[in-house]
Structure 1
Amino acid sequence: MAEPLEVVCAADLAGKPIPPRQEHVEGMIPAGNVTLLYGDGGTGKSLLALQLAVATAAGSQWIGLPVARGSALFLTAEDEVAEVHRRLASICALEGLELAEMSDLDITSLAGKDAVLSVADSRAGTMKETPLFAELERWIEGHGNYTLIVLDTLADLFGGEENARGHARQFIGQLRGLAIRRHATIVLLAHPSLSGMASGTGTSGNTAWSNSVRSRLYLERVTMRDGDRVTEPDPDVRVLATKKVNYGRVGGEVRVRWTEGVFVPCGQPGIGNSAALEAIRAERVFLDLLGSYTAQGRYVSSSPSSTFAPSVFCRDAKAEGVTKAGFLTAMNNLFAEGRIVNEAFGRASKTRHRIALKRDNEAASD
């Protein structure tokens, strides 16, 4: 039998204070709801999520962004506690924390165990919560609830058909019910489909996953196309992109670098502010245009001339609104980071220089 509906008359809301919208990470992760964090295999999404859990428990920043303070539960079906321990040691060392201070962070590993939280009921055509789901909620309730719950990963915890829209919506609905009842923010980690990786959207094959959550993030490697070849300028750099957020702006990006076992912001102080995000976007657009121009045999220069890269790029239809000044700053930053170089080309009697992507262990050629 269905539960009775709770109906509120709109007029009864008159005169009552408007409840503020809560966010766990401003503009990226809404509080009290479910966020999907996608990432290709090996990109480091589990590490990034663990850093979020540490930041929540310690009241520190997460990749340069302020985070709501509170207790956190990190549930992993992929890694053993020993691996989480190693990662925690690296995170705490970077943050200047002691593991003994992490009393507000709990860890549970289901690696090698049955980790399914919900299975498909073939007769009813619905998703049914497993005893493990009930045990998880009992644990959460018994420990005074958690501000943040990280679930790693969807493939291990979901026992339905991933491409079945109804199964996807119901599973997210079950997690959202848990988030509402326990006043928690849930971050669910997942792998994108091959098409999601190829398109850059980071989604799975079923759009119901993205449609059912309030926020969707995608952690991806930074690649460039150089002719027919796809290269990775810096294998330690990742971009965390906001692909969907119901109550904020889509398209925000944070560039991070893997350093000493931890992700850190890529040399951008105050990474959460709009100026820093614009700088990151300008670098991305500069690299994208450089790759396209190089593939077409259209070379640009770092010296003021008719081929001066900032002047050429700001007039391109794919400039995404980046100004000449923005491209100039991006170019200087990319040179300083060693991600682009000046490359000689042409006849020996008339050598010229063009901007090129730095190729590791590869000599510059004509």
Structure 2
Amino acid sequence: MVTLPVVNAASLAHEAVKPRSWHVEDLIPGNTVTLLNGDGGTGKSLLALQLAVATCSDGYWAGRKPEQGRVIYLGAEDDIEELHRRLVDICADAAIDLESLHDLDIVPLAGRDALLAVPARKTNVLEQTPLFSRLEERVSDFKPAFVVLDTLSDLFGGEENQRAQARQFISLLRGLCLDHGVTILLLAHPSLTGMSSGSGLSGSTAWNNSVRSRLYLERIKDSDGKETDTEMRVLTTKKANYTKTGTEIRLNWHQGVFKAAQGKSSLSDIAAQAKAERVFMSLLAAFTREGRNVSESTGHAYAPKKFADDSRAEGVTRNEFKKAMSNLFAKGAIQMETVGPASRHTRRIVAVQTRE
């Protein structure tokens, strides 16, 4: 028999108001499900594993300190060897011993049946699988504060475009959160439409509507859709019921881990900078082929002015080219070179040749 839970509002008058809990403040609310979307190969699994380690080792993640506690990382994409390699890099960066991670359980399901829920036969109703029951038993015994589920396409046996099934699956996971006081991070790939629109959505909008928070990890691309910095990502809050949306965290990949970048440039600013650097390098190559030298010094060969006046500038301004030139020098992508005889030598900007 189904009972109807009823709470009379007046009965709450003398109850203390519990503060809202956060696993990661302003990003991942506690005791519920957060969805993390990210294109394939963007690094969402690595970022989630870094959060798992930070949670159980009193560390930091994306410049923030998560709530501490035990963690279960259920991964259906990467095998234990790959997870081992990533953990070594993460521990090296955090200056901790892998041997100390007693509070992190790994459940490697790559190549195995990882479905947690499937539609009941000839119905649109989801039912949990025996694997879900085993997961819930482990949650009950191990008592983690945080669970990572990687990824939705491997764990959900229904149709992603089915609104009712999407809501049922999130409801099933939220029940796990509420019953055991755990926070869940569910990883998912966006659809092609979600990637092109920048929303990061996948399948039915019910996925977005059913969770209380949704994050999107994406690459930095300029206005023409071209990626210029393969080591940079931006983590954005696309949905946040309990705080503002649009929060952006810049992340740099370095030696196997993501680190929060300095500065608070917006995604549009970063994209504009990326475009300016790409066009600068393109025009530098074109000018070099044409035998036209440019310099970093103001004058008739000043690169930012020459490039801004060129018909191939793609709308990039002189000031944008100036900033791009400074950034490219700092990155070691360009350098100054002396050419010509000693009596008439000149200096010009050249691209630094990288080794394959």
Q: TM-score, normalised by structure 1?
A: 0.76
Contact 2:218–2:234 (8 Å) recurs in 1: yes
State the partner residue of 2:54.
55
d(CA) in 1 for partners of 2:269, 2:327: 7
1:142, distance to aligned residue in structure 2 (A): 1.5
State the partner residue of 2:258.
263
State the partner residue of 1:138.
137
d(CA) in 2 for partners of 1:46, 1:31: 20
Larger CA Rg, structure 1 vs 2? 2
State the partner residue of 2:226.
231
Consecutive unaligned residues of structure 2, counting only runs of 5 or more, are 284-295, 299-303, 306-318, 336-350
1:72 maps to a residue whose letter is V
1:338, distance to aligned residue in structure 2 (A): 3.5
State the partner residue of 2:175.
177
Instruction: Call closer, same or farther: CA 1:332–1:183 in 2, change over 3 Å.
Output: farther
Contact 1:119–1:129 (8 Å) recurs in 2: yes
- Deviations 1:65-118 (CA, angstroms, capped at 9, x unpaired): 111111111000111111111110000001000011111111011111111000
Contact 2:37–2:188 (8 Å) recurs in 1: yes
Instruction: Call closer, same or farther: CA 1:154–1:251 in 2, change over 3 Å.
Output: same
Which residue among 142, 159, 162 is the counterpart of 2:157? 159
In the TM superposition, structure 1's runs of 4+ consecutive aligned residues that sit over 4 Å from their partners are: 288-294, 327-337, 339-342, 358-361
State the partner residue of 1:38.
37
Instruction: Call closer, same or farther: CA 1:359–1:235 in 2, change over 3 Å.
Output: farther
d(CA) in 1 for partners of 2:321, 2:63: 24
Aligned length: 311
State the partner residue of 2:92.
93
d(CA) in 2 for partners of 1:156, 1:333: 45
2:148 maps to a residue whose letter is V
1:122, distance to aligned residue in structure 2 (A): 3.9
- Deviations 1:189-228 (CA, angstroms, capped at 9, x unpaired): 11000000001111113101111011111111111145xx
1:12 maps to a residue whose letter is S
1:279, distance to aligned residue in structure 2 (A): 3.3
- Deviations 1:162-183 (CA, angstroms, capped at 9, x unpaired): 1100000000000010011110
d(CA) in 2 for partners of 1:302, 1:151: 54
1:232, distance to aligned residue in structure 2 (A): 1.4
d(CA) in 1 for partners of 2:179, 2:324: 49
State the partner residue of 1:116.
115
State the partner residue of 1:9.
8
Instruction: Call closer, same or farther: CA 1:292–1:104 in 2, change over 3 Å.
Output: closer
State the partner residue of 1:81.
80
Consecutive unaligned residues of structure 1, counting only runs of 5 or more, are 269-275, 309-323, 343-357, 362-366
Q: Secondary structure at the match of 2:265?
A: helix
Instruction: Call closer, same or farther: CA 1:341–1:113 in 2, change over 3 Å.
Output: same
d(CA) in 2 for partners of 1:15, 1:260: 53
Matches within 5 A, 1:185-196: 185-196=183-194
d(CA) in 2 for partners of 1:359, 1:10: 69
Q: Are 1:284 and 2:270 counterparts? A: yes
Which residue among 203, 206, 219 is the counterpart of 2:204? 206
Q: Are 1:245 and 2:229 counterparts? A: no
1:131 maps to a residue whose letter is P
1:135, distance to aligned residue in structure 2 (A): 1.0
2:256 maps to a residue whose letter is G
d(CA) in 2 for partners of 1:185, 1:91: 22
Q: Which stretch has the larger CA shift, 9-18 or 116-125?
A: 116-125
Instruction: Call closer, same or farther: CA 1:302–1:112 in 2, change over 3 Å.
Output: farther
d(CA) in 2 for partners of 1:242, 1:329: 32
d(CA) in 1 for partners of 2:132, 2:195: 30
State the partner residue of 1:355.
none
Q: Secondary structure at the match of 1:279?
A: coil
d(CA) in 2 for partners of 1:148, 1:302: 55
1:287 maps to a residue whose letter is Q
State the partner residue of 1:71.
70
- Deviations 1:119-156 (CA, angstroms, capped at 9, x unpaired): 0124442111111111110111112x110000011011
Please provide the CA RMSD for this pair: 3.2
Q: Which stretch has the larger CA shift, 250-259 or 333-342?
A: 333-342
Instruction: Call closer, same or farther: CA 1:331–1:173 in 2, change over 3 Å.
Output: same
2:168 maps to a residue whose letter is Q
State the partner residue of 2:310.
none
1:240, distance to aligned residue in structure 2 (A): 0.9
Instruction: Call closer, same or farther: CA 1:116–1:30 in 2, change over 3 Å.
Output: same
Instruction: Call closer, same or farther: CA 1:360–1:284 in 2, change over 3 Å.
Output: farther
1:6, distance to aligned residue in structure 2 (A): 1.7
Q: Secondary structure at the match of 2:244?
A: coil
Contact 2:277–2:321 (8 Å) recurs in 1: no
1:233, distance to aligned residue in structure 2 (A): 1.2
State the partner residue of 2:21.
22
d(CA) in 2 for partners of 1:189, 1:238: 16
